Amino acid sequence: MTASDNKNPPRPVRYFALIPAAGVGARMAASTPKQYLALGGQPMLAHTLQAFLGSELIAHTYVVVSAEDGYIDSVAPPSGVTVLRCGGATRMDSVLNGLRALRAVAADGDMVLVHDAARPGLTPELIRKLIGEAGANPAGGLLALPVVDTVKSTRGGAVATIPRDGMWLAQTPQMFSYALLLRALSAAPDANAITDDASAVEMLGLSPQLVEGHPRNLKVTLPSDIRIAEMYLEQDKK
């Protein structure tokens, strides 16, 4: 090892959170985007941001909103979070735009944790688990839950049972190196077909690692989901 090598050791990998929050939440039938609906006395997005701000492993958190978003300034804290007003027409577009905005700060080997704004049950412990178990995997990783119920399919018009062995329900965060995620999303042929970031990485022939998450990390999609999410948040106060 030369003297110059000693002076320039490899820089540690940093972990950035990227939260796409440009959606309108049409299925909630609410007057405001669902990420801003009240949940346990706070906007839903506030709980999501707090999980990352409470993790000592996250270098910085970025939230992607639409250019005309009029709510984010009252939700995002003054430090630790950067608002990127570059939201796109689809979730994939928003993530890709956010990644391009991160180019000035993120190195190719830094890790990006993409998380749904409407998953307010995330905790620093789940973030630590994902990074600890999949942080060294070159294909990245994501939180997921093994399927425990019997799965039925109606494809083709007939009801059929699908074996649940090896079946998982994807959650977020989904974590990949900056360079890999940018390449995967840039190469994806159809933004509407990319329902999560892992599917774009899988199209490259890679297999992201599944890390068992928790039911509390559910995605709030329908009005009935709000009470379930509040139940978990109430348990945290006991």
Domain 12-236 belongs in CATH node 3.90.550.10 = yes
User: What's the rounded Cα separation, in Å, for the pair 159 and 134?
Assistant: 37
Residue 9 banded pLDDT, cuts 50, 70, 90: confident
pTM of the model: 0.92
pLDDT value, residue 237: 76
Read off the pLDDT of residues 87-134 as tens digits, 9 standing for 90 and up: 999 999 999 999 999 999 999 999 999 999 999 999 999 999 999 999
Domain boundaries, the chain: 12-236
Read off the pLDDT of residues 55-98 as tens digits, 9 standing for 90 and up: 999 999 999 999 999 999 999 998 999 999 999 999 999 999 99
Query: Which candidate, 22, 29, 47, 49, places its Cα nearest to that of 216?
Result: 47
User: What's the rounded Cα separation, in Å, for the pair 29 and 94?
Assistant: 22
Q: How far is CA 19 from CA 29, 146, 151, 179, in A?
A: 22, 24, 30, 18
